[in-house]
Amino acid sequence: MRINERIRLSPVRLIDDEGNQVGVVSVDEALQRAREKGLDLVEVAATSRPIVCKIMDYGRFRYEQEKKAREAKKQQHQVDLKEVKYRPNINIHDFETKTRKAREFLEQGKHVKVTIMFRMREMRRPENGYELLRRVYESLQDAAKMEREPSKELEGRDLTMVLRPLKK
């Protein structure tokens, strides 16, 4: 936003500090009116012709905008995503341990990204990864719903699926 002397295009459509439309005036006259009231001349619509300027307290205006932005940020809901990584040829005990950890995350209300990481020759048998994802989902079915299904193709060397907790 341009304020005061930074506004160069003349004439401007002026709106006074009470919100009343004054009309089309020169930039110098608009600046003079703003100074008489001890306020700033602020460009509010730069794309229209003539540009629209308003007489206001710019510092207070910026403070109000920042306050609204902070309130909007407080209202924002951020999803907590945890990742659990598996290998295609995982041992039963390791599978159960990682799946138990994923269940804990889901019970805490967090989303879980299940990743199957492939190496070298394992890339030849992606069906092992799909089978493992199916097993993970079946063991967590009572605590989770699938948010993003595994893609038909590998994403690089990984295969992923996202689970979200069930609503209580």
Given strand 111-117, what is the order of strands in its sheet? 81-86, 111-117, 158-165, 144-148
Start-end of CATH 3.10.20.80 domains in the chain = 4-74
Handedness of CA 118, 122, 126, 128 (dihedral sign): negative
Q: What's the pLDDT at 167?
A: 73
Q: What's the pLDDT at 168?
A: 53
- What's domain 4-74's superfamily in CATH? Translation initiation factor 3 (IF-3), N-terminal domain (3.10.20.80)
Query: CB-hemisphere CA count at 13 Å for 7?
Result: 29
What are the pLDDT tens digits along the chain (168 aa)?
888 888 888 889 999 888 899 899 999 999 999 999 999 999 988 888 889 999 999 999 899 999 999 988 888 777 788 999 999 888 999 999 999 999 999 998 899 999 999 888 888 888 888 999 999 999 998 888 888 888 777 778 888 899 999 875
- AA identity, residue 95: F
Which residues fall within 8 angstroms of residue 125, CB to CB, at 6 or more apart?
88
Q: What's the pLDDT at 9?
A: 85
Q: What's the pLDDT at 75?
A: 81
Q: What are the helix (H) ranges across the chain?
A: 27-36, 58-75, 92-107, 126-140
Start-end of CATH 3.30.110.10 domains in the chain = 81-165
Question: In the CATH hierarchy, which fold is given to the domain comprising 81-165?
Answer: Translation Initiation Factor IF3 (3.30.110)
Handedness of CA 107, 108, 112, 117 (dihedral sign): negative
| Cβ atoms of 139 and 89 closer than 8 Å | no
Q: What's the pLDDT at 113?
A: 93
Q: What's the pLDDT at 149?
A: 82
Q: Which residues pair with 142 in a beta bridge?
A: none
Task: Give phi and psi for 55, each to the nearest 5.
Answer: -90, 120
In our burial notation (b when 16+ CB lie closer than 10 A, e otherwise), range 117-139 reads ebeeebeeebebbbebbeebbeb
Handedness of CA 33, 34, 35, 36 (dihedral sign): positive
